[in-house]
Amino acid sequence: MNTVRTLAAALALASALAVPNAAAARTKLVTLPGRATLVVNLQHPNQSLIYEERDITLQRGTNHIDFSWQGVSIDKDSIRLELLSHPGDGPEASKIINVAFPPNEPALTWQIFSPEARTERIRVSYLLSGIGRQFSYELTVDTAERTARFQQYFQLSNSSGENFDRAAFRIAQTDDLVRTVQSGETRRFLAFEKADMPVRKLYITRPDPYANRGEEGEIISMVYELRNDEAHGLGAFKLDAGKTRVFGATPDGDTIFLGENWLPQTATAEEAQLPLGTVKDVVLKRRTMDDRRENERFNIHRRLVAYDRVVHVRYEIENFKDAESVVRVIESLPAEAEIGEVSTGGVTTKRKSAEEMHLDITLPPRPADATQDVPVREVNVVYRVRNVLN
């Protein structure tokens, strides 16, 4: 190992504070026993908080404990020492009476007073750089594409100079993961898994209201949608961003690779979407049937100053798939727009934001008889924008 960090105790046999006429002395350095506990807290994105506990032997009087490091990215201002076995301010407590930083050295020294010779459990904590972490996911969708096995993986890269032997790696997504990760090593762990998680398959399009694609139809993406909440077996923590590989289950029990995309960071109770490319067997054409002014208002000079705008949009949709499909149309609307009418059933509307409306349109499968034409589903939407200034 080309980098070494040591924690050692210098034990004084006598202390002027504890024994009259005796001078405090530092007789030798004694390497501390192995860590009783080692925790690596990875919940901060840039630095890792390390806790390590050890049992040390204290002499009666003043004891010196040295903490030194070489080739390890420790924030020296973050180093803390806690006395666990005999804390407090009473006469029986061990006490930290001084902390010193030797000049130009990666080290510090604590002076600890003990009223008697005994063993003390101590906890040393510090911030450590050089531990990289990232998340990735695997989603395996069942044959009906209604549920999936959701797996979250955690990858840790250790370039800190510190070796972690059976350390408890702490992340929000799971109980502590006890693993050994040496300096210079990268390891990947399964952090969380949920079987039979509900998913929803959608076909999503975002028409440009100022670009008429005509008979060519809109660009439609195939998307798997999941929701980070308790009803979907999630919701205990946010989902960190990460690359996601999507697999599909076949009727004979095998799996096939469907594609991959980047899962955005998803807060609890929010939706996450995984687009996996565009499709041609669902066709949607958007047509503006009417765009007129109503309720025009004029000033005293008979100049138009404001009006209401009424827009009628028609969607013509064909489903060439053998299964029922849901098409989501994401319309960009003025913030003042009001949805006045949706002329057909089987459509749900949701105002996702001030300037975005979602229409989910359910389409039946194509006819089983191949000689029949695929029906065209028409959906008419009318919205009104009030008080448009001229």
Q: Which of 24-28, 261-265, 275-279, 297-301 has the lowest mean pLDDT?
A: 24-28
Residues pairing with 177 in the sheet: 169
Q: pLDDT tens across 204-261, in order?
A: 999 988 888 888 899 999 999 999 999 998 988 889 999 999 999 888 888 999 999 9
Give the Cβ contact number of residue 38 at 10 Å: 19
Residue with tokens 């308790």: 230
pLDDT on residue 18: 36
| Measured CA distances, 181 to 74, 272, 299, 347, 361 (Å) | 18, 32, 76, 53, 50
pLDDT band at 33 (very low <50, low <70, confident <90, very high): low
Domain coordinates in residue numbering, the chain? 5-128, 130-203+220-277, 282-389
The pLDDT of residue 48? 93
Instruction: Report, as an integer, the average pLDDT of 347-370.
Output: 88
Beta-carbon contacts of 346 under 8 Å, excluding residues fewer than 6 positions away, are 361, 362
Q: What is the pTM of this model?
A: 0.76
The mean of the pLDDT values for the chain is 86
Is it the case that residue 136 has pLDDT exceeding 90?
Answer: yes
Domain 282-389 belongs to what topology? Answer: Immunoglobulin-like (2.60.40)
Distance from C-alpha of 281 to C-alpha of 384, rounded to nearest angstrom: 32
Residue spans of beta strands (DSSP E) within 115-254: 118-128, 131-141, 147-158, 164-170, 177-181, 186-198, 200-205, 221-227, 242-249
Task: Compute how many other C-beta atoms are within 10 angstroms of the C-beta atom of residue 359.
Answer: 19
